[in-house]
Structure 1
Amino acid sequence: MADPVNLLVAQPVHEEWLARVRAAVPDAVIDLRDPIVPGEKLPEAELRHRTVLFTDHPPANAEALASLRWLQLGSAGYQQLAGAPLPDGVRVANASGVNDIPIAEWCVLMMLTLGRRLPDALRDQAARRWNRDVAYQVEVRGRRVGIFGYGSIGREVARLSRGLGLEVWALSRSGFGPRPDRFGAAGADIAPDRGFGPAELPEFLAGLDVLVITAPLTDETRGTFGATELALLPPRAVLLNPARAHIVDETALLDALGSGRLAGAALDSQYREPMPPDDPFWTAPNTVVTPHVSGSTGSPHFTARLWELFALNLGRFRSGEPLLNEIADRDWR
């Protein structure tokens, strides 16, 4: 017998997918409300009988969710659950995979932007300078991209990189095989041309033309790339970081860019957000900065993909199957 569904949605609504959910569970209680602000308390009567909560943040009085069986997050991160008084046995799933496509496309854009020196070409255009420098005429095909963190985003970067004719290396703590029960872009569950473990970081870095960081920021990954690690990259290499800025040591990165030891960088996650006018990365040599938009709720497909994930997991929840992107209790408690 399927679990009863008493659902509170605290997410932007996608009307087509909401209609599908209502049709799939016509006997369910489904209430909609504005997204929950961090630290916000909700009336206990609104929480008491809920079996399912679809939100980015749990309410501050999560202890009132005594009947909760499943929490579906709208974010890939789940640090916001630390210390939340959720009931024992609640199942939690995150939204990993929802932003894979736009983030991977940003990475391809930046490979081409830095590879063909587009910022320099645009400066030539603004100065009305006819410059046919050979640096503008290179190709990325045949180069080697290294992906640090081989989750769903990293695999989509690998899939698109293969289409450009790049050789794909990857470094991962958790391996390179198929990842069942994960939400993500179709066809992206591919193996790299060569895989490395954490102990092989020096060998991994020494062979790259492009380093792409797609790992989450954790106690283990914070500051992974300092002066020693960046010096292992060939001088021709560029660094792309659509993940979290602090995986790379800020001072070391500025020094590597300023000295020319690193050929360039594209940064979407910044050390200070929003970036102040005097932020040194605005003017760092051969550096492209974007305002944390590689994958965001502003994507025209974000809400539809998020609700697709939720609808798939609702079916799994009712049939007792593993949820897509289910997070082990030990990882978020």
Structure 2
Amino acid sequence: MTTEHREAAPPAKGGAAPRPKPPASGTAHPAPGPKEQRRAERRSRRYRWDLKYSPYAFVSPFFLFFAAFGLFPLLYTGWSALHSASMLTPNEMEWVGFENFTRLWEDEFFWKALRNTFTIGIISTVPQLLMALGLAHLLNYRLRGSMFFRVAILTPYATSIAAATLVFAMLYGRDYGVINWALDLIGIDRVDWQAGTWSSQFAVSTIVIWRWTGYNTLIYLAAMQAVPNDLYESAALDGASRWKQFIHITLPSLRPTILFTIVVSTIGATQLFGEPLLFAGDPSGGTQNQYQTLGLYMYEMGWINRHLGRAAAIAWTMFLLLIIIGIIYWVITRWVGRSNGEEE
């Protein structure tokens, strides 16, 4: 028998093994040495730095890309707007101050482009949002194949601007367009859609309506599904029809979402470029500039006429217009919020 076997104590009666003796009271752990203390301080410092600076490191790529591709072009465009420069020699600039901006006040083509942008924006935005609101209201109810309709209604948004505009240009063709063929069947004379002012603006607006209605429909649908069902159930118990529920429950609940879509649609209308450019393939917007927008006028001034300074002034004018529009909508939002608070 070995020494270990001799020293092992026999198990107690009842099969319970003896418990180990606890350490004597007053026994202290050895104090960490200087190296361990320095390591612990470094770990604590790294943890504090990680907790404090890691969020900035995670969001820094966005700010770096924004500074390179957003802030720098904006500032450089503003600097170019104060100079007279050609697109062929952009490094040779001559200081002219605000002359490029003052020339816009006397430029009839600028004011015509501004009017065209406003009218096309109104014609395309108002029907677009009304149709999106109605479609979202229909899709909000339980329909067979509702998921198919939700995916299908987003298909125009996924289509490229070039493909959609070229198809609409063929539909609005003067001699062989499908729309003129349909008008001829019901006894209406053919329309030269690209030659007239209102006809061309209406044609461009239909492209915008077709492409963006589904996008706004899904935004309204998501907001409608967030409205509590208890409100509709209470209104139904009180005898309210679906139309009254839509007027008195759905629309007030969608007020912030409607303001958001109006702001986004207004910004998109101000920057309208691809649809009118590809509709006839002419940056002048027709023979009489009848559907030339601010985006097209800036493109024509910079890339066709090679006036970099004047094109930059137009770009900054569009930017200032968007700021003014944003302030107006902010004031309206604050006013609507205060009126709702007073009503409550």
Normalised to the residue count of structure 1, the TM-score between the two structures is: 0.21
Which structure has the larger Rg? 2
Question: Which structure is higher in helix share?
Answer: 2
Question: Which structure is higher in strand share?
Answer: 1
